[in-house]
Amino acid sequence: MKKCILIDDDATARLITQQMISKVDNLEVVGDFENAIDAIKFLNDQSVDLIFLDIHMPTFSGFDFIKTLKSPPSIVLVTSDRNFALDAFEYNCVVDYLVKPLTFERFQKSMDKIPQIAAPSSTKTEENQETTEDKLYVNIDRRLVKIHIPDIYLIEAKGDYINIKTEGKNYIVHSTLKKIENKLPSQTFIKVHRSYIINFNKIIDIEDNSVLIKQDIIPVSRSNRGELMRRLNLL
């Protein structure tokens, strides 16, 4: 059974969230707080797996609270304000952004995104089960979209955005190449240029200072060429 707490100055909102949590088999509420200060005191002695957190609270906002946590658990923001979704996902611990009034259907989708909370599917075999390392969630139009990491073949920097290219679709995400590089398995992905990261397993051929990935010809910088050549299984 996983443990969670609620932090919201609206008692009715806390009650509604608790009712929805009661329908999740492997999740229990171990704390219910109307302000962030009391929650911080609780967390000094207790650990939890998930926090449901309001943004707008007197004196101490939800974002202020997150900044106090050295090793934050997963956090689901529950708020009536739609305007802070992009800010919210700058924090790696924030896994979803729920807008009040809540519906159970949307709440359940949120729980399904959290590996340690989602109930295991009886139809999956050990062989085809996804692991946390197999997927990446990106924020697109204030929605968290799941991308299967093995499907990614190319990531291109475009100003303040990156273009993630997969086998089936492209995703434009407000992020940096450095940030996504830290999320990718280093044994599969390699940065070949200041503007490009490629899936090493998707390379078709290499010629001079470029590689062919699908239909994309990607430049390889002089500083990155050595690492690329070291990783090739040359005959």
Question: What tens digit of pLDDT does each residue of 57-79 get?
Answer: 988 999 999 999 988 999 999 99
- Specify the CATH number of the domain 151-231: 2.40.50.1020
What is the predicted pLDDT for the residue at 14? 94
Using DSSP's 3-state secondary structure scheme, residue 108 falls into: helix
Find tokens 């089960």 and name the residue. Answer: 129
pLDDT exceeds cutoff 60 at 83:
yes
pLDDT in tens, 122-145: 334 444 444 445 888 888 887 888
Report phi then psi at 174, rounded to 5: -75, 95
What is the predicted pLDDT for the residue at 129? 45
Averaged pLDDT of the chain? 87
Contact 97, 86 (CB under 8 A): no
- For residue 23, the one-letter residue type is K
Q: What is the CA radius of gyration of the chain?
A: 21
* Number of Cβ within a 10 Å radius of residue 168: 8
Instruction: Select the more confidently predicted residue: 49 or 235.
Output: 49
What is the predicted pLDDT for the residue at 134? 81
d(C-alpha 70, C-alpha 27), whole Å: 23
The model scores a pTM over 0.75: no
pLDDT in tens, 162-191: 999 998 899 999 999 988 988 888 888 999
Edge to edge, the sheet with strand 203-207 lists: 203-207, 210-213, 216-219
- For residue 177, the one-letter residue type is L
What is the predicted pLDDT for the residue at 199? 93
Domain-wise residue ranges, the chain: 2-112, 151-231
What is the predicted pLDDT for the residue at 124? 41
Instruction: Select the more confidently predicted residue: 192 or 117.
Output: 192
Q: Which of 47, 57, 64 is nearest to 5 (CA)?
A: 47
pLDDT in tens, 24-60: 888 999 999 999 999 999 999 999 999 999 999 988 9
The CATH topology of domain 2-112 is: Rossmann fold (3.40.50)
